[in-house]
Amino acid sequence: MTDDVGDASRASSFHFQLYGPAPTAAVRWRLLSGNNRDMGRGVAAYRDAEACSAGIREILRRLDELDPVFIPDGGNAWRWFLRYKGEPVVSSGHAYDRKVRCKEGQLQFLRHASDAQIKGDIVVSTARRWTTSAAIDLRDAVEPSPGQAPSVLPSPRRTVTPSGSVLR
């Protein structure tokens, strides 16, 4: 991981983008690939860019401690989450059309996050795709049955949150 003022010669073109609906609003982050595809995003919102960057660094320090979860998201779509001590901290940036692609997306996040640069500036936008009125609650996840793979959970329960996007 490097910061904006860090080493310019990076092996990875992946980078963390900080974003929010207004300069003084809560700040979120997402990991973007070299061609700006959303590879995963943080679940929590932060008070400012400094706190958001610190949150990213904390998640990066704990990558080996995060538990992956793969859940169906209606039809044939799948989403992944990374949980720390049962709480979701990272989610896929989009739904995948196949479970195998969902797993590949989660592995790509883990593979590239630690080498990604953290951009210090906040991208301000009110784009609808950056917020949602429904959240997936993974805190009450059912333990898998003996024959079920530990990373697969039943269909998620959807709940609406007051802010429209925070899972906690």
One-letter amino acid at 19 equals Y
Hey, what CATH topology would domain 2-159 get? Answer: PH-domain like (2.30.29)
Q: Which residue has the higher pLDDT, 139 or 92?
A: 92
Question: Global pTM?
Answer: 0.71
Say which residue the tokens 């609650």 belong to: 137
Domain ranges of the chain: 2-159
User: How confident is the model over 122-147, as pLDDT tens digits?
Assistant: 999 877 554 443 344 444 443 333 44
